[in-house]
């Protein structure tokens, strides 16, 4: 009787022991299926395809090594735990990737929503300290600008009349001056202007000398022509226009044949215009640059010009 009870108790214990692993395996399978379903749902969000399917992720769980033949197989519980570990690792990686993508999308949206930066205006360029302005051309010898003549009231303004035409006698006198014919056209043009000046036909001489300088600006007599043109204006009572030609001749070629004459007669023109300062400057330059001319050929004009001037 006792033996039969012991045998029955042992059989019941074996049945209970056999049912326990099966019950544990069923619970673990349900948990694993639930986790795998969540992984598939997450894969559809992270790796969507054009047809609604999902791609297999590049990150895969490490393959489970296959035991060599002859070794005892693992238990079902061990396999389930291994699968659970692999699924949980995939879940962690997918979750991290979703968080990174979410952060990137948020940063891009923030940049797109931010207003564009205002354009930066260039700062005004300030010259460094000690920088001097660009040099200005020396105008100490230049004649002063002509003073503006105040306009008269309309009621008293005289009627403008054209310049009087030269008389028949003057035209005949000008025509009487012979034109030279030396074979050098430039020389002939200058010589004819000189003959007009010598005959005191100053306007006609100025017109002829201008024509000569326009046609032959590089002629050997060009220095003579510019100086004589200034003399024609000066002798005709126009020192302002004469000063321009004297200064131009001196500055064009300081070693020209009539450069000393032009500098000296520039002082004469300034003296007639009552510009003592420029007259003294021209005289000082003449005495230093052309000392031999001041003591020789042009000494008479030089001394006469100095008389009546107080130069410091």
CB atoms within 10 A of CB 165: 8
Structural domains present in the chain: 179-306 (1.25.40.10)
pLDDT at residue 226, rounded to an integer = 96
Q: What percent of the chain has pLDDT over 70?
A: 61
The model's pLDDT over 138-153, given as tens digits with 9 standing for 90+, comes to 556 666 665 555 555 4
Confidence of residue 113 (pLDDT cuts 50, 70, 90): confident
Rounded average pLDDT over 104-126:
66
Q: Give the residue, 186 or 133, on which the prediction is more confident.
A: 186
Per-position DSSP letters for 79-130, written without gaps between them = HHHHHHHHHHHHHHHHHHHHHHHHHHHHHHHHHHHSPPPPPPPPPPP-PPTT
Confidence of residue 96 (pLDDT cuts 50, 70, 90): confident
User: H or E segment at 60?
Assistant: none
């Amino acid at each position: 009787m006792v033996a039969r009870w012991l045998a029955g108790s042992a059989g019941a214990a074996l049945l209970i022991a056999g049912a326990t692993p099966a019950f544990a395996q069923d619970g673990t399978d349900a948990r694993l299926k639930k986790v795998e379903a969540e992984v598939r749902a997450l894969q559809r969000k992270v790796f969507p395809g054009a047809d609604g399917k999902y791609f297999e992720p590049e990150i895969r769980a490490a393959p489970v090594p296959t035991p060599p033949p002859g070794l005892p197989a693992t238990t079902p519980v061990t396999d389930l735990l291994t699968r659970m570990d692999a699924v949980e690792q995939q879940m962690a990686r997918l979750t991290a990737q979703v968080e990174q993508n979410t952060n990137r999308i948020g940063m891009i949206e923030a940049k797109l929503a931010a207003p564009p930066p205002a354009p930066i205006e260039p700062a005004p360029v300030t010259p460094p300290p000690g920088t001097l302005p660009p040099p200005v051309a020396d105008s100490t010898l230049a004649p002063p600008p002509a003073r503006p003549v105040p306009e008269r009231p309309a009621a008293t303004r005289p009627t403008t009349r054209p310049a009087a035409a030269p008389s028949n006698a003057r035209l005949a006198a000008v025509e009487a001056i012979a034109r030279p014919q030396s074979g050098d056209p430039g020389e002939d043009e200058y010589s004819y202007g000189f003959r007009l000046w010598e005959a005191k036909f100053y306007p006609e001489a100025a017109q002829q000398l201008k024509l000569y300088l326009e046609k032959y600006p590089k002629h050997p007599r060009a220095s003579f022509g510019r100086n004589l043109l200034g003399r024609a204006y000066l002798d005709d009572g126009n020192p302002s226009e004469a000063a321009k030609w004297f200064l131009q001749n001196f500055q064009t070629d300081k070693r020209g044949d009539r450069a000393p004459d032009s500098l000296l007669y520039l002082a004469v023109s300034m003296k007639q215009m009552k510009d003592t300062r420029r007259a003294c400057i021209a005289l000082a330059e003449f005495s230093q640059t052309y000392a031999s001319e001041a003591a020789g050929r042009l000494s008479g004009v030089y001394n006469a010009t100095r008389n009546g001037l107080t130069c410091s």
